[in-house]
Amino acid sequence: MNKNIVLIGFMGAGKSVAARELGKRLNRKVVSTDELVERKEGRSIAQIFQESGEAYFRRCEKDVVWEIAQKKDLIIDCGGGIFLDSDNVANLKRNGIVIYLLATPEVLFERTQGRKHRPLLNVADPHQKIKELLAIREPAYRQAHHVIDTSNKKNHQVCDEILALIES
Ligand code: S3P
């Protein structure tokens, strides 16, 4: 049995695409915390935020993290806010190698622009919001075991780096 590979970082960092490719390359199961929350709740993240609020979403997210952190051999694609909770950090690090996919605010803005499914970025000035949230979250993300800057890289290059880190 292998440790989980846990991808964290801001919205638009490329966690989901990297998780899918790693799943194929390693022949491992991929789980997305956002998808698990949506499945359990039977509604989208946007709906959960709108109807029940962010605090409720964070509780759902924490339940899902607790469940998957008990397992092994997974690739875990984490929602961007998961490392803000210290229990989530401890649970995911216990059984997993945690990799922070970093990108500059400009790149994150470009990658998330025009996509409407992320309630936290549905604001008048998403670029400014990204800068503010990233400044607050950076110390939490830095609790990862490894950091990879994805800003000017293609997904396959990011995955090569992740695999090199894991094999080392
Ligand atoms: C969030 C990131 C989203 C999703 C929710 C909140 C965040 O996931 O969990 O909209 O707080 O950064 P992605 O990082 O997969 O977009």
User: For residue 168, is pLDDT > 90?
Assistant: no
End-to-end CA, the chain:
17
- 96-102 β-sheet, strand order: 29-32, 74-77, 4-8, 96-102, 146-149
Q: pLDDT of 79-117, one tens digit each?
A: 999 999 999 999 999 999 999 999 999 999 999 998 888
- The residue whose CA is least distant from atom 16 of ligand 1 is 11
Question: Structurally, how many domains does the chain consist of?
Answer: 1
Query: Of 21, 8, 28, 142, which is closest to residue 78 (Cα–Cα)?
Result: 8
Given a cut of 90, is residue 133 above it in pLDDT? yes
Q: Output the domain CATH number for residue 156.
A: 3.40.50.300
Using one digit for the tens of pLDDT, what is the confidence trace for 10-31?
999 999 999 999 999 999 999 9
CB 118 near ligand 1, within 6 Å: yes
**Coil, strand or helix: which one is 4?**
strand
Q: How far is the CA of 2 from the centre of ligand 1 (A)?
A: 26
| Mean pLDDT to the nearest integer, 129-150 | 98
Domain with 60 in it: 4-167
Rounded to an integer, the average pLDDT of 37-50 is 97
Which residue type is seen at 67? E
Per-residue pLDDT tens for 136-146?
999 999 999 99
Residue 126: DSSP 8-state: H
The whole-chain average pLDDT of the chain stands at: 96
